[in-house]
């Protein structure tokens, strides 16, 4: 599977590194109460991809093949579910065995979007949902306890990523045409276009220049979408869409992807490093790019969520592109979330996805001890004013070993290519 398309099964900057505040300064910041949201049944993977204003989370819960190596870890089963104050609800499927999410979102009305397998084999042998079943994969809207398929652009597959309070949904959909930019033998070889669904209808969003492909990952309340434009192999431009027009965002000459935006039009994502070897977290404001770098000791970073206060969350990778740390960036400083988590949480944050207006953060963490030690669980972190005391970073200063495959992250956000990074 080609890498930008592996990214879509996420639901996948060696220049300037933002210096972490010293450990003593971390205590001047607010700490967090951390809720372990677990996974589902005997699944070995749980990840909270989105959180609404009430603290309800959308979770992907799945089973990763324990025999997978660190490069080709395989998701063998998965379900999209929501957690409402500790009650978990499996959202079901569109007839196939699995459902999942490409970041996914639960909005304040409890509407949820993602993607699901159907019971129909893909006639072209594609495997867009990524479970190895080669069943057709459809974007869905879940509301009023019912999952409904969203239309494509004439092709067999698509995925939905975000929904705002106006009911506007973004993601991507196939138009059925073969993508000439895909190398011979590519499994998912149809053109995949960024899409806005509104009123039950799919509208293709423009890409940059002659780029054949793209994907929209988030949409704010004003209808401004963000994502990327590129080809079968590379995300060539981080972009935003407004009033039907596309705008390429500034980068370092090696491509980028935008993953989130707020009501002020501030955008976050990732950019390729200037030398094309890795990637950094990115923040765009009024057209200007701020390179967020990565955490000391880590190799790469992505920024995936931002609230209206300009607080940014994201994740870093080690040199093997395994998830390493969840972070929060505010007031110009990137901080490892584990320095703000109390040791009593028993969770080591390796991924932070979205942040709501209350400052609550949804993400994924490794369990440190007990019967579930090494498993990967979803978490919700809620800000508290009191000192966090001893932190997870003190208890487990390095990323803990997990019982799940080292590539736990690569199953839904792969090592993807940006511009020259993909050449």
CATH number, domain containing residue 101 = 2.130.10.10
Q: Which of 54-58, 217-221, 411-415 has the lowest mean pLDDT?
A: 411-415
- 15-40: average pLDDT: 56
Better-predicted residue by pLDDT, 190 or 5: 190
For residue range 345-390, list pLDDT tens digits in order. Answer: 999 999 999 999 999 999 999 999 998 888 899 999 999 976 667 7
Exposure letters 370-383 (e unless 16+ CB within 10 A, then b): eebeebbbbbbbbb
- 14-35: average pLDDT: 47
Instruction: Report the pLDDT value the prediction gives residue 392, as an integer from 0 to 100.
Output: 80
Query: For residue 63, is pLDDT > 70?
Result: yes
Rg (Cα) of the chain, in Å, rounded? Answer: 19
Q: Are 230 and 213 in contact (CB under 8 A)?
A: yes
- 67-94: average pLDDT: 80
pLDDT interval class at 41 (50, 70, 90): confident
Query: For residue 19, is pLDDT > 60?
Result: no
- 172-189: average pLDDT: 97
The domain containing residue 140 runs over which residues? 3-422
Q: Tokens 């919700």: give the residue.
A: 380
First to last CA, the chain: 16
Instruction: Report the pLDDT value the prediction gives residue 390, as an integer from 0 to 100.
Output: 74
Distances (CA, A) of 90 to 10, 115, 256, 366: 18, 14, 34, 22
pLDDT interval class at 89 (50, 70, 90): very high
- 168-187: average pLDDT: 97
Beta bridge partners, 87, equal 84
Count of structural domains within the chain: 1
Query: For residue 261, is pLDDT > 50?
Result: yes
Query: For residue 297, is pLDDT > 90?
Result: yes
Query: For residue 317, is pLDDT > 80?
Result: yes
């Amino acid at each position: 599977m080609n890498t930008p398309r592996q990214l879509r099964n996420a639901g996948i900057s060696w220049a300037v590194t933002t210096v972490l505040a010293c450990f003593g300064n971390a205590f001047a910041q607010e700490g967090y109460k951390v809720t372990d949201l677990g996974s589902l049944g005997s699944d070995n993977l749980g990840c909270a991809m989105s959180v609404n204003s009430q603290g309800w989370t959308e979770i992907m819960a799945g089973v990763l093949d324990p025999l997978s190596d660190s490069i080709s870890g395989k998701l063998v089963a998965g379900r999209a579910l929501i957690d409402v104050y500790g009650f978990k609800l499996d959202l079901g499927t569109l007839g196939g065995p699995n459902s999942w999410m490409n970041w996914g979102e639960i909005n304040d009305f409890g509407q949820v979007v993602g993607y699901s397998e159907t019971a129909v084999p893909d006639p072209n042998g594609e495997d867009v949902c990524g479970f190895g079943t080669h069943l057709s994969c459809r974007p869905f809207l879940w509301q009023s306890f019912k999952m409904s398929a969203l239309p494509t652009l004439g092709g067999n597959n698509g995925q939905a990523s975000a929904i705002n309070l106006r009911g506007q949904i973004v993601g991507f959909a196939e138009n059925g045409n073969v993508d000439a930019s895909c190398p011979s033998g590519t499994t998912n070889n149809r053109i995949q276009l960024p899409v806005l669904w509104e009123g039950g209808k799919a509208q293709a969003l423009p890409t940059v220049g002659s780029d054949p492909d793209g994907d929209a990952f988030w949409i704010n309340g004003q209808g401004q979408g963000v994502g990327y434009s590129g080809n079968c192999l590379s995300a060539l431009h981080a972009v935003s869409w407004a009033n039907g027009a596309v705008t390429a965002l500034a980068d370092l000459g090696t491509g980028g992807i935008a993953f989130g935006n707020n009501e002020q039009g501030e955008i976050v994502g990732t950019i390729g490093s200037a030398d094309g070897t890795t990637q950094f977290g990115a923040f765009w404001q009024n057209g200007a790019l701020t390179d967020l770098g990565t955490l000391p000791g880590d190799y790469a970073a992505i920024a995936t969520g931002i609230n209206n206060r300009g607080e940014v969350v994201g994740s870093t990778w080690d040199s093997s592109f395994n998830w390493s740390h969840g972070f929060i960036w505010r007031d110009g400083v990137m901080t490892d979330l584990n320095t703000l988590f109390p040791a009593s949480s028993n969770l080591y944050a390796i991924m932070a996805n979205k942040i709501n207006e209350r400052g609550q953060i949804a993400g994924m963490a490794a369990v440190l001890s007990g019967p579930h030690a090494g498993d990967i669980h979803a978490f919700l972190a809620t800000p508290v004013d009191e000192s966090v005391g001893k932190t997870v970073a003190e208890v487990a200063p390095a990323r803990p070993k997990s019982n799940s495959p080292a590539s736990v992250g690569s199953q839904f956000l792969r090592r993807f290519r940006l511009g020259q990074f993909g050449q």
